[in-house]
Amino acid sequence: MRIAFLMAPKGVEQVELTEPWNALADAGHTPRLVSTAAGRIQAYRHLDKRDTFPVDQTVDEASAEEYGALVLPGGLANPDALRQDEDAVRLVETFFDAGRPVAAICHAPWTLIEADVVRDRTVTSYPSLQTDLRNAGAYWVDEEVSVCHDGPNTLVTSRRPGDLKAFCGKLVAQLGD
């Protein structure tokens, strides 16, 4: 299955991109990097630049129909930029409308809030987002990973890089081999 990883051109926490990417690839899926701009994205470890990664497709070219699931890696600047991009927010909405699984880690639920898709759903995130998520109507829990099944939708969320093993395990299990 093709999996879209949605990111801004800079600000993604590298490990929150690479670990889920590798876990899904190892399970036989085909991850693809979708971004708001063509070229390469700049990853970070906290505030320090790390590697760059090639963009496979821009968000204005992408659609939920061509992917089986959506992954939103975190970092602080990445989701903040995505939630200000109308095409990125629209893409997130279409994954929910299509009933495709969505996964978000760390600060990535900011983009989910902007897409207005967390209301009445149980989620976790980096702790500093809990008030934002509750104000958007979500049920916030302090757990390493949360899986919320809501009708046709599956939402997998996690708090931080230290939870990546659990996040990747639940994500792979939800998508199957």
What amino acid positions are annotated as catalytic residues? 107
User: Is residue 88 a contact partner of residue 36, using CB atoms and an 8 Å limit?
Assistant: yes
Concatenating the DSSP letter of every residue in 99-116 gives T--EEEETTTHHHHHHTT
In the DSSP assignment, the letter for residue 122 is: E
Give the Å distances, CA to CA, from 137 to 29, 126, 176: 32, 17, 29
* Cβ atoms within 10 Å of 134's Cβ, excluding its own: 13
**What are the residues whose beta carbons fall under 8 Å from the beta carbon of 135, sequence distance 6 or more?**
none
CA distance 17 to 93: 21
The SS3 of residue 72 is strand
User: Is residue 43 a contact partner of residue 52, using CB atoms and an 8 Å limit?
Assistant: yes
In the DSSP assignment, the letter for residue 45 is: E
